[in-house]
Every structure is written in C-alpha cells, then in structure tokens.
Structure 1
Amino acid sequence: MVAFTLNGEARTLDVDPEMPLLWAVRDVIGLTGTKFGCGLAQCGACTVHVNGMPTRSCQTAVGDIEGASITTIEGVSGKIGETVQAVWAEFDVPQCGYCQSGQIMSAVALLTETPKPTDDDIDSAMSGNLCRCATYHRIRAAIHETANRLET
C-alpha cells in the first residue's frame, strides 16, 4: 500500500511499489491528462508536481512518493495555474496538444519559483519539455505574458 495526496485528496493504492507513477495516475486512478511520451524522462509529457517540484512520472516509482503531495494537470489551480492555462489558450500555444500538460506543469513550477522569469530562466526551466510542433516561441511568450498578468 502506498499513501499520498493527489490533487488535494488523500489516496492509498495497493499496487506494486515499482509501478511508474504515470501508470498509477492514468491506469489505476483514471486521470489521463498526464501523457506517456518517451518513457525515459526525456520529453516531459509526463510531468507532474511532486511536493511542488516538476517530476517525470514515467520514471518515478509509486513507492518513492509515499506521503508526498502530487499534482497533475487536472489539479492545477490557483491564480498561477489558472492564468497559465488561460494565456496558453489565448496565445494558441497548443498545436497537436500532446505535450501541453507537461509544458503547463513546468511553466507553473517556474512561475511559482520565479515570478518574473527571463528568457534564460524560461529556456532552462522548459528545456526538458519537447514539443514536436515547435511552439517554443509561443510557450516563451505565454510565460512572459502570464508573469505580466500576475504582477498586476
């Protein structure tokens, strides 16, 4: 049994502790917003927050998150999360959309830690998230716009 908090709700799963968090979230719990991309923690599509830190859920064992607070794209809320999602839509960031939950999770973590990020901050924080549609310029612009809106 592994106990943790998922999107603010206490959860206990009776699964193999070696099961990747991604599969526990998607297949056992049924939250499919977190995507499987490469399975090697290289693309960022599976990004969730573990105790507020962006984490690749495809390579994080459920047994390693005992007692942790996990946030998936379905649980993103608050001023930063809601503003990021609104600006993402306004700036037409998603094309195919597959990587976007991971992109948003990384952007929320960045803006939580660095309210007014520079281009270098954004590039560094987002470097682990790949976008096959190459909307990187829109992602950067959306993060800057979100920071501007949160500042006011």
Structure 2
Amino acid sequence: MFADPLDAETPDIEMDADEVNAFLRGQGWGCLTMARDSVAYSIPVSFGYDGDSTFYFQLQTDEGCEKLPYLDATTTATLVVPEVRPPEWTSVMVRGPLEVLTDDGITEALAVIGDNAWFPLAPWSDGQAPTHLSLYALEAEELTGRSSAVGTLTD
C-alpha cells in the first residue's frame, strides 16, 4: 500500500547538509533540466559528484542533437536526484551554472565520474558507432533535499 501524500502522517523532512551529501554520493543519476526561450528540456543523466559542490556529466553532443541549443542557452540548470521505495521517498534538487569543461577540468571530472557515476564512460554498446561526448560541470549554488525517511534510504 502506498502512503497518501495528503495524509498528515506522511513525513516530509528537510535534509541537512550531511544527509544530502551522503544521498548524492550514493545515487549517480538524476534528471538535468535546461531551458531555452522559456521552454524546458530535461534529460536523464549519470553524474559524478565530488562530495562538495560540483557535479560532472558526460553528454552526447553530436552536431544537430536536440540538447545542444539548450546547453548553450542555459544560464542556471537544475538537477533533480530522486529515489522512491514506497512508501518512502527522497528528492534532492541542485541548481547552478552549467559549463562545458576545457582541458583544465577534464582529469578531475573523469576521476569523479569514475568514482560514483551510475553509468560508465563510453555509453555505446559493441558494434555501435561512438558518438561525440563532452564533459560538463554544474557548480551547485543551491542544494536542497527533502525526504519521508531521512537516514534510511541510503542504507
């Protein structure tokens, strides 16, 4: 049986910084939302989290792909990282600028992605032609979390 979200007994607890950090280190995927001309565009992404405030993504950026104009136009992106194990749930929201990485940030990004991203590098399967990948960083300016069961979902 699922908890009724309107039921006063269903907890809705704001997570503290340590709980948010622990949750994010154990997830490795979420939905990244960008915007262009007042139109939102969300994509599921695997991410690496440095444990402080930076999130790293490898994104397919082939010429003509739908997300490129959104990546270029977005000044503040939102990453939502949910987990649902009925009746419990947790959700963390991260907001901040999204930037393509240059040579300076690539080594650290790859290390962090390798450490805790859900999806490994090189997302194509055998026999499938490789695509162009770019590395991006989101620097958290806002990081908030709420849960129905703080401390139990990351166990």
Relative to the length of structure 2, the TM-score reads 0.25
Relative to the length of structure 1, the TM-score reads 0.25
Write 1 or 2 for the structure with the bigger share of strand.
Answer: 2
User: Which structure carries more relative contact order (alpha carbon 8 Å, separation 6+)?
Assistant: 2
Write 1 or 2 for the structure with the bigger share of helix.
Answer: 1
Computing the radius of gyration from Cα coordinates, the structure with the larger value is 2
